[in-house]
Amino acid sequence: MMTDILGKLNDEMAALLTKARPALVEIRGRNRSVGAGTIWHPSGMVVTNTHVLEGKNVEIALADGRNLPAELLASEPSLDLAVLAVEAEGLPVMELGNSRSLRTGDWVVALGNPFGMIGAATAGTLIGRTNGSIDGRRSPVSLLVLDLHLRPGYSGGALLDAQGRLVGINTMMQGPNVGVAVPVDEIKTFLRRAIKKLDR
């Protein structure tokens, strides 16, 4: 009975990741991988971390094999968030979840591209929330603290809940097997601010 339950859970999780992976991109600078990004909008909007970009001219490698030059639309270093644009239409996106509904102990999965392994996954649970620092800067928002290991290359990738919905963007490690992600609800607010500035 337990084997059947675990097998079903394993199959369901594998199906969720298969569905989500096409919306994960590789961010490259000077022909090498520097991190991950998450497609936010089918018309070519990609969310990632500012520390992934570090002033580089970057291109986006899509899951379908296309490599496209990316333009930086906006960034907010205090949140370690940036939004890029590529010239493409009909790109795959992930279903958005509600990060405010996440509870301590809830299962989460991080997607990224560590050490050249494209679309890798690591799983754990939500430890809680904190207003700690990102890369030495005090965060203005509450961050998700995760019991999982975000190896180099997970930055900018997607954090999924148990239903495969996007609930955050992976950011960095805060200690052994303790990762941090920016909640999806804060990303929505960041993007609204960014779009208003672009429309001026």
> Does residue 11 have an active-site annotation?
no
Active site residue 149: no
The residue behind tokens 């097997």 is 177
**DSSP code, position 132:** -
Helix (H, G, I), strand (E, B) or coil at 70: coil
Nearest CA among 156, 88, 157 for reference residue 121: 157
Which residue is catalytic, options 33, 75, 80, 99? 80
Are the C-beta atoms of residues 111 and 21 closer than 8 Å to each other? yes
Amino acid in position 83: V
Spatial CA neighbour of 101 closest among 59, 161, 15 = 161
| Residue with the two structure tokens 């995760």 | 146
Give the type of residue at 92: P
Query: Which of the residues 75, 139, 155, 161 is marked catalytic?
Result: 155
Instruction: Tell me, yes or no, if 155 is annotated catalytic.
Output: yes
Residues belonging to the active site: 51, 80, 155
